[in-house]
Amino acid sequence: MSVDGEAVRLRGEADEPGWEVDPDDEWGVAVITTVGRQLKLRREAVGMRAADFGRAVGYGEDMVYKIEGGKRIPRQEFLDKADEVLRAGGLLAATWEDVKRVRYPKKVRELAKLESQAVEIGVYESISINGLLQTPEHARALFESWQPAYTPEEVEHLVAARTARQAVFDRSPAPALGFVQEEATLRRPVGGTMVWRQQLERLLEVGRLRNVTLQVMPTSSEAHPGLNGRIEVLKFGDGSAVGRSDGAFSGRPSSDPKQIRILELRYGTIRAQALPPRESLSFIQQLLGET
């Protein structure tokens, strides 16, 4: 395709990796299939061929067919442009409200939903930086190291999903967020020196937020209740709570009040043994100076 004599490259799957529909996600499949059908019906109603429509919105014909067939999740800019080209009066653009709820894997959506509703989140991490604190580059390096290996498309999808969860920091009113990170997770140069430095800088940035408490558990600390692995406790406005721990209740999420109290006791003990928030930030700043 050319415009005013200049070649214009239409976007295809290589340009937008990781936006496939999970066939096991029934709700996601239903939403994306419905949106695709609306796009196709609107395009056919105005008598526009898929190839012509693709050129008008800047996408390849194959991508248009996949989106219309419910095989690919459309991005917001695609829906906005399609609405304009097909003169849909905002109807197609409005479908983004449904699409954005299913664009990430089901398990990630469920976790993100809980985090978006919680008024208080407390997390202890012993192996890696918590996902809510990770930079995209740090997350990408982690996913690229996993075995069996993810495809590049899967990696980008997972990174986008993890990054989207960090909208919790933008909520108003802001939830109370508490993080305790083992020292070893801060010293591991995931992704190389530059990515590591960016991650430490991100921790300092988040740790200075008024609604965030960030603590470091020094390696020199004695035994504590978190040595069996991660602990998470999410509390909600109605007084209910959900928690999980790698070392309790088979690692499964629980809302049982007795089990929540156990996790709260363990998490509270961990916080008491960790460095205070101000000392923790100074410790991270010192690490940053050593890189």
The tens digit of pLDDT for each residue in 30-62 reads 989 999 999 999 999 999 999 999 999 999 999
Instruction: Please tell me the predicted confidence (pLDDT) of residue 260.
Output: 92
Higher confidence at residue 124 or residue 17? Answer: 124
- Asked which of 21-30, 73-82, 102-111, 220-229 is least confident by mean pLDDT, the reply is 102-111
Q: What value does the mean pLDDT take over residues 137-154?
A: 91
Instruction: Please tell me the predicted confidence (pLDDT) of residue 28.
Output: 80
Instruction: Please tell me the predicted confidence (pLDDT) of residue 2.
Output: 42
Query: DSSP label at 71?
Result: S
Instruction: Please tell me the predicted confidence (pLDDT) of residue 286.
Output: 94
Element (H, E) at 110: helix 106-117
Nearest to 35 by CA among 106, 97, 86: 97
Query: DSSP label at 150?
Result: P
Strand order in the sheet with 118-125: 212-217, 176-182, 118-125, 231-236, 241-245
> Mean pLDDT for the chain?
88
Residue 217 CB partners (closer than 8 Å, separation 6+): 124, 126, 180, 181, 182, 183, 224, 226, 270, 273, 274, 275
Q: Extract the runs of DSSP E, i.e. beta strands, from 107-249.
A: 118-125, 176-182, 212-217, 231-236, 241-245
Q: Find out whether the peptide bond into 148 is cis, omega within 30 degrees of 0.
A: yes
| pLDDT band, residue 1 (cuts 50/70/90) | very low
Instruction: Please tell me the predicted confidence (pLDDT) of residue 20.
Output: 73
Instruction: Please tell me the predicted confidence (pLDDT) of residue 7.
Output: 46
| pLDDT band, residue 153 (cuts 50/70/90) | confident
pLDDT greater than 70 at residue 194 = yes
Q: Give how far Cα 49 sits from Cα of 43, 89, 180, 182, 202, Å.
A: 7, 20, 56, 57, 47
pLDDT greater than 60 at residue 98 = yes
Instruction: Please tell me the predicted confidence (pLDDT) of residue 246.
Output: 84
Q: Are 240 and 255 in contact (CB under 8 A)?
A: yes
Instruction: Please tell me the predicted confidence (pLDDT) of residue 71.
Output: 87
By percentage, how much of the chain surpasses pLDDT 70?
Answer: 91
The tens digit of pLDDT for each residue in 154-171 reads 898 889 888 988 999 999
Higher confidence at residue 266 or residue 251? Answer: 266
Q: What value does the mean pLDDT take over residues 171-182?
A: 95
First to last CA, the chain: 48
Helices (H), 188-256: 193-207
